[in-house]
Amino acid sequence: MTADLPRTASTVIVGGGIVGAATAFFLGDRGESDVVVLERATLGSGTSKGGLGGIRHQFVDELDVRLSLMATAFWREFHTFTGGTHEFEERGYLFIATTREGLAQLREPLPLYERLKVPVEMLDRADIERLVPGIRTDDLAGGRLCARDGYGDPVTALACFAAAATLEGVRFFEGTDVDALIREGDRVTGVRCGNATIACERVLIATGCWTAALAATASVAVPVWPYRRSIMESGPIPHLAATPLVIEWESGFHFRPKEGRVRFAPPNLTTEGKVEKGPAGPPASFEELTFPPLDVPPSLEPWVKERAAHRHRSFADLEIRDAWSCYYEMTPDDHPVVGRVPELAGLYIAAGFSGHGFMHVPATAQLIVEEMLDGRAATLDITDLSLERFRTGRRPFTATVL
């Protein structure tokens, strides 16, 4: 593919997932037509194709909630902005707790939601049964619902972003590996792809869990690493098609309808069979990361069947029709790096979303474009998402995958 690459561009985006495609769209929307997106495989072939597609407001940090408010305003009017069709199914996110401690944790952020005018309510067992007929509630302490949450389809949304960006003049190149960033002093001036180079004013690294290696070619350390998560899909269960996305607070077990079927997102299991909702901690080094194989651990299917059957009577004889794994792109505080690299002009990063990339992408992509073109993100202050926080030891967020 390198023979077809341009020699210059205003902006090079490395990574053709949902983040790269959305950023390309917002750049094109601002009149930046000389934009190139480079994807080593095919668009959306990395993490974007594997996610559950959840979109929610229920976070514990204010910036996360504000990102959600900004993003969902876009998701609701997706066709108006892009001309494409992507359905944001606002059927709600229902968190359920089996312990009093878990229920207390669900109550904690209620003052934040009230202040930001996010419609969240606490539910008792009867409320939960009305929302999800057939769900088991005798072991529940209660739940929390935001009816304005829901879910979408990352692959569909990505295709629409890419199509709209192409109409704006953005060029996408698949099957194109970026070997290194080109650094001259305190500035990045382009990228190298095999024997070809592209000179540019700015580069955005949107390569998910592969970010650390590419950033290192410009002597920039980025604490992003891969964490394998698995998804399973049932056969047809059409009578659950209108239910919320349900999450067990203590176990991290998710399920949601998907075109007449149900998708399940289990936690990982340790070698001792214990539930692991997120990684125990960062790797010892980011220089040579270990990427777990993207198979589905054989212990997960029996766990999912047992847990699902326990939670809902329709899952008593659950048939798993499909299963796959993908990588979450983790950071030490479970929040992304979004913004310019402070010491290196022309270099920007949008990676490390820790499972929240799709839901927030209309916000984060717009905000990174504001930094690129205006010098700062004005719609929301994203200073706390800067790479600098990891260097100073500042911790503005509550680390949480759910």
* Better-scored residue on pLDDT, 255 or 281: 255
3-state secondary structure of 57: coil
90-149+228-325: CATH, from 3.40.50.300, 3.10.270.10, 3.40.250.10, 3.30.9.10: 3.30.9.10
The mean of the pLDDT values for the chain is: 96
Q: What is the pLDDT of residue 206?
A: 98
Local confidence band at 300 (pLDDT 50, 70, 90 cut-offs): very high
Q: Do 357 and 78 touch, CB atoms closer than 8 A?
A: no
Instruction: Please give the share of the chain, as a percent, with pLDDT higher than 70.
Output: 99
Interval 149-154 mean pLDDT: 97
List the CATH code of the domain at 2-52+154-224+333-392: 3.50.50.60
**400 φ, ψ to 5°?**
-160, 130
How buried is residue 125: exposed, middle or buried, by Cβ count under 10 Å (0-12/13-18/19+)? middle
- Per DSSP, helices labelled H in 182-243 are 211-216
Interval 186-200 mean pLDDT: 97
Q: How far apart are CA 287 and CA 290, in angstroms?
A: 10
pLDDT tens string 109-133: 999 999 999 999 999 999 999 999 9
**Helix (H) and strand (E) counts in the chain:** 11, 20
Q: How far apart are CA 87 and CA 50, in angstroms?
A: 18
Structure tokens at 387: 């790479």
Q: Where are the domains of the chain?
A: 2-52+154-224+333-392, 90-149+228-325
pLDDT tens string 61-80: 999 999 999 999 999 999 99
Structure tokens at 122: 């606490």
Q: What is the pLDDT of residue 298?
A: 96
Q: How many beta carbons lie within 10 A of that of residue 291, not counting itself?
A: 11
Closest listed residue to residue 340, CA positions, set 348, 351, 330 = 348
Q: What is the pLDDT of residue 280?
A: 87
- Per DSSP, helices labelled H in 5-149 are 18-29, 62-76, 78-82, 100-107, 110-115, 125-131
**353 φ, ψ to 5°?**
-75, -10
| pTM assigned to the model | 0.97
